[in-house]
Structure 1
Amino acid sequence: MTETVPTDSPPPAAQVTLPDGRVEIAPGAPVPSGPYANEDLLPVPMEKRTWTTYNFSALWVGMAHNTASWTLASGLIAVGMDWKQAVFTIALANLIVLVPMLLTGHAGPKYGIPFPVFARASFGVRGANLPAVVRALVACGWFGIQTWIGGEAIFFLAGKLFGDSWANAGHIGGYAWTMWLSFAIFWVLQVAIIYRGMETIRRFENWAAPFVLVGAGVMLWWMSDKAGGFGPLLDQPSKLGWGPDFWTLFAPALMGMIGFWSTLSLNIPDFTRYGRSQKAQTVGQALGLP
């Protein structure tokens, strides 16, 4: 079977292949144009593929350390697991999802292409619009969830500073208007970074990752202090044991953890297309996600 190429598609651009196997449009060659090409979909030129191992590790530190991740972990504790079972479930899920993440991410540094273009290999030029739009809709929902959680963080922190007048302000739609304001502030902060492009995201994550790790360490120290030391935190027994009760819960819990990052395992080329090499994206992700 051969795929029918749309008659209005541009002719394939000349390309060059580097000794390490990476491919780019040949210098001076005509840039693809037409309805199936735009600035966001064009291959990233080699001089802009600058992300290093640290950049990818820092990206994952920033993405994995968030309130939603901690909520998943604490949820496993709440349903009866001890900390060892919860960490085992989450770590195994991350290692499983890392495999397709690295395989899909391979196309990024090699061709400099994002996910919507990579999907054309499986779905065709027009058919790739379906997975791209579906992924975008999931991203919109996920962005909203994360933004609401971030807004809650601002709301509660501001409440500690300003007191009851902030927390008990007039309600709109069941929430204080200050909660909606906090949501809007967090939304604007994120969009301001995203709007400036991937290079700004790279620099932001480079600085944010160390602060996130330090912040996580401070929170761990605070929790252990409130609990009276690490002993009470680590000695809590499992309510499920390691018998049938645990394994019955383990399967859906594992799938929930996998589902947490499964969509990103599809569109990871959106990030890896800026990778300096295959080693940078492979080692960086392998260090960062688990």
Structure 2
Amino acid sequence: MISPKTKAKLSCWARRLECPVDENANYKNTFWCNRDLIPIPPDRRTWRWQDFAGYWVIAGINTTPWTAGASLLILGLSVPQSMGVVVGVGLISALLAVFAGRPGSRLYLGFTVLSRASWGMRGGFWPVLNRIMNACIWMGIQMYWGGQAIKIVLRALIGNPFINLKNTLPPSANVDTASLISFFVFVVVFLPLPMIPPERLQIPFRITFVMITCTMFGLLIWSQCAAHGPGELIHASSTKHGAVLSWNTVYGLQSLIGAQASGCLGQSDWTRYAQTPNSALFGQLVAAPIFISVTSICGILITSSAATIYGEYIWNPFELLLTMQESSGSAGTRAGTFFAGLGFLASQLSLCQMLNGISTGMDMAALCPKWINIRRGCYILTVIAIAICPWNYVTSPGTFITVLSSWSVFLSPMTGIIISDYFLVRHGQYHIGDLYLGNKSSAYWYVWGFNPRGFTAWILGMVPLLPGFARAVGHTANGNGWDHIYEISYFYGFFVALVVHAVLHTVFPAKRQRGSSPFVLSMHAETLERAEGEEGRKQEYTSSKETEAAKP
């Protein structure tokens, strides 16, 4: 049994480790609330339209759209058909981002807190845990590619000594010594970034926007000049025809949209910092489709030209730069790859913080708001991303990457639910204070803290996809009905969950389903103080009884 003295010490340390509270704040850190989970106050709404445009430039110019052409050409599409699909991906992703981000720009709440309304106060932990698990893997992979950018920069600076660095690791490690050193150098460079609050990240993102845009177009110009044209790949025709080509086109479209699933699902995590309700629209509707499409087209053109130069198709831009360094050690090549490596380094730093760090930090804050905020959550995420040894998934991907790339099977119904809940069920009206009350008085307590309607919608949008998902992972698909449903998995999961969630709330309406009430911090604090006071008195009473019982 723990002594009262030890309990007092633990209690003291627990108070010291609590998350910081703003000066003169009217809220308190509780098991449902802290600074990063409350509605963003006006002084922290600093993101303007050009900041959101820069956000989508960074989100658009990365390895996922860059290598989209490879995925589509493997499915049998021609280059013009691939480009058409990519344009469709950009437009649909833009619309999803607008609808999923609207609650944030209107209510100034992130996905983490909004999930409590659609899933229940306790049920809201389920989508949060899904996002955390997905983000931990992707954070590790993005950090690994950030390490490759460091490797490119170091090879350009040091030259042969770094290129010929002896590998002291066994083949089973799936990583060489130079790559491992580069990986941890990237981690060290990344560590200060979470110290910058989300409302102050605009300047680093603007710098990244300029650097990565110049890098991509610089590589495009170099490749076209060095190869004296776009190469042979650009003239490739479709290798599939008829119904097979049609289904592959749809599958390619929804797969690439699914790759954007996590970013679209968590749009409210960023739009809640919008200076005005419409600040994010230009970035979402204009910058997003343009740069997703342009990046994919540039990826095809650069890869096609590079094949003329090096005799092989190199889709990954990091591997392309490493190949350039291996084939030539001239001063011009080293200078060019150095600046290109810096551009990709800045991009990877921003992607780790933007697509993983902030959103997942807030998700982790929801698990334990008293002691975890966005910053601490981001550091926890970084530690986990290192611990999973992400190079194993990149250099020897196998079935795991297939599973990870298909995670939209689980995320697409969640996107449908969050959009349905805001637009169809509540018409934008929420009892915001109730999102921070973990008891029966909350409008979002439902049944023991779980909303059966939300879980039913998610299950119906996800379960029919599992047979096709398992067949795809096991490479046993043969084009039957289950396989075709899986080939439209993102659209199926999204629309089924959206409709079912709305219908169930219409047929079985919840208590205080409509109507709104503000989050009045002082009233909320008083409620918490009463609840915590009662809990404190109970603990004091229990402690005194234990002390009396321990006396001889």
Aligned counterparts of 2:186 and 2:77: Cα–Cα separation in 1: 33
SS of residue in 1 equivalent to 2:33:
coil
> Would you say 1:246 and 2:245 are equivalent positions?
yes
Q: In the alignment, which residue of structure 1 is the partner of 2:10?
A: none
| Larger deviation, residues 31-40 vs 177-186 | 31-40
Aligned counterparts of 2:233 and 2:167: Cα–Cα separation in 1: 42
Q: In the alignment, which residue of structure 1 is the partner of 2:277?
A: 278
Q: Which structure 2 segments of 5+ residues have no match?
A: 1-23, 290-552
SS of residue in 2 equivalent to 1:252:
helix
- Tell me how far 1:223 sits from its aligned partner: 1.5
> Would you say 1:62 and 2:58 are equivalent positions?
yes
Q: In the alignment, which residue of structure 1 is the partner of 2:225?
A: 225
SS of residue in 2 equivalent to 1:220:
helix
Q: 2:135 aligns with which of 128, 135, 139?
A: 139
- Calculate the TM-score normalised by the size of structure 2: 0.44
Q: In the alignment, which residue of structure 1 is the partner of 2:89?
A: 93
Q: In the alignment, which residue of structure 2 is the partner of 1:198?
A: 198
Q: In the alignment, which residue of structure 1 is the partner of 2:34?
A: 38
CA contact (8 A) 1:64 1:289 kept: yes
Q: In the alignment, which residue of structure 2 is the partner of 1:119?
A: 115
Aligned counterparts of 2:168 and 2:82: Cα–Cα separation in 1: 38
Q: 2:150 aligns with which of 124, 134, 154?
A: 154
- Calculate the TM-score normalised by the size of structure 1: 0.81
Q: Using a 3 Å threshold, how does the CA distance of structure 1 residues 30 and 153 change in structure 2: closer, same or farther?
A: closer
- Tell me how far 1:78 sits from its aligned partner: 4.9
SS of residue in 2 equivalent to 1:31:
coil
| Larger deviation, residues 196-205 vs 38-47 | 196-205
**Which gives a bigger RCO, structure 1 or 2 (Cα 8 Å, sep 6+)?**
1
Q: Using a 3 Å threshold, how does the CA distance of structure 1 residues 157 and 49 change in structure 2: closer, same or farther?
A: same
Deviations 1:201-231 (A, max 9, x none): 222112221222222111110111232124x
Q: In the alignment, which residue of structure 1 is the partner of 2:324?
A: none
Aligned counterparts of 1:235 and 1:262: Cα–Cα separation in 2: 29
Deviations 1:135-194 (A, max 9, x none): 122111111111111212222342344344423422332322221121122233333223
Aligned counterparts of 2:92 and 2:72: Cα–Cα separation in 1: 18
Aligned residues: 262
Q: Using a 3 Å threshold, how does the CA distance of structure 1 residues 285 and 244 change in structure 2: closer, same or farther?
A: same
Deviations 1:16-56 (A, max 9, x none): xxxxxxxxxxxx99426521101221111012112111100
Q: In the alignment, which residue of structure 2 is the partner of 1:260?
A: 259
| Larger deviation, residues 31-40 vs 61-70 | 31-40
> Would you say 1:106 and 2:118 are equivalent positions?
no
Q: Using a 3 Å threshold, how does the CA distance of structure 1 residues 254 and 54 change in structure 2: closer, same or farther?
A: same
Aligned counterparts of 2:181 and 2:201: Cα–Cα separation in 1: 24
Aligned counterparts of 1:33 and 1:279: Cα–Cα separation in 2: 31
More helix per residue: 1 or 2? 2
Q: Using a 3 Å threshold, how does the CA distance of structure 1 residues 76 and 154 change in structure 2: closer, same or farther?
A: farther
Give the percent of matched residue pairs that are identical in Structure 1 and Structure 2: 26
Q: Using a 3 Å threshold, how does the CA distance of structure 1 residues 242 and 84 change in structure 2: closer, same or farther?
A: farther
Q: Using a 3 Å threshold, how does the CA distance of structure 1 residues 33 and 163 change in structure 2: closer, same or farther?
A: closer
Q: In the alignment, which residue of structure 2 is the partner of 1:3?
A: none
SS of residue in 2 equivalent to 1:119:
helix
Q: In the alignment, which residue of structure 1 is the partner of 2:451?
A: none
SS of residue in 2 equivalent to 1:127:
coil
Q: In the alignment, which residue of structure 2 is the partner of 1:23?
A: none
CA contact (8 A) 2:44 2:199 kept: no
SS of residue in 2 equivalent to 1:94:
helix
CA contact (8 A) 2:105 2:276 kept: yes
Deviations 1:233-270 (A, max 9, x none): 68513233774453232122112101111111111111
Q: In the alignment, which residue of structure 2 is the partner of 1:178?
A: 178
- Tell me how far 1:124 sits from its aligned partner: 1.4
What amino acid maps onto 1:286 in structure 2? Answer: L
What amino acid maps onto 1:247 in structure 2? Answer: S
CA contact (8 A) 1:194 1:201 kept: no
Aligned counterparts of 1:101 and 1:210: Cα–Cα separation in 2: 23
What amino acid maps onto 2:177 in structure 1? Answer: W
Aligned counterparts of 2:241 and 2:201: Cα–Cα separation in 1: 42
Q: Using a 3 Å threshold, how does the CA distance of structure 1 residues 123 and 206 change in structure 2: closer, same or farther?
A: same
Aligned counterparts of 1:236 and 1:191: Cα–Cα separation in 2: 45
Deviations 1:55-90 (A, max 9, x none): 001011012111233122333345543432222212
Q: Using a 3 Å threshold, how does the CA distance of structure 1 residues 73 and 235 change in structure 2: closer, same or farther?
A: closer
Q: Using a 3 Å threshold, how does the CA distance of structure 1 residues 254 and 192 change in structure 2: closer, same or farther?
A: same
Q: Using a 3 Å threshold, how does the CA distance of structure 1 residues 211 and 282 change in structure 2: closer, same or farther?
A: same
CA contact (8 A) 2:151 2:179 kept: yes
CA contact (8 A) 1:98 1:289 kept: yes
CA contact (8 A) 2:77 2:249 kept: no
Q: In the alignment, which residue of structure 2 is the partner of 1:130?
A: 126
Q: Which structure 1 segments of 5+ residues have no match?
A: 1-27
Aligned counterparts of 1:164 and 1:78: Cα–Cα separation in 2: 36
CA contact (8 A) 1:61 1:288 kept: yes
Aligned counterparts of 1:233 and 1:283: Cα–Cα separation in 2: 36
CA contact (8 A) 1:97 1:261 kept: yes
Which is greater in Rg? 2
| Larger deviation, residues 121-130 vs 94-103 | 94-103
> Would you say 1:210 and 2:210 are equivalent positions?
yes
Aligned counterparts of 2:191 and 2:119: Cα–Cα separation in 1: 30
Aligned counterparts of 1:266 and 1:218: Cα–Cα separation in 2: 32
CA contact (8 A) 1:49 1:109 kept: no
Q: Using a 3 Å threshold, how does the CA distance of structure 1 residues 123 and 222 change in structure 2: closer, same or farther?
A: same
SS of residue in 1 equivalent to 2:35:
coil
SS of residue in 2 equivalent to 1:194:
helix
Q: CA RMSD in A?
A: 2.3
| Larger deviation, residues 235-244 vs 99-108 | 235-244
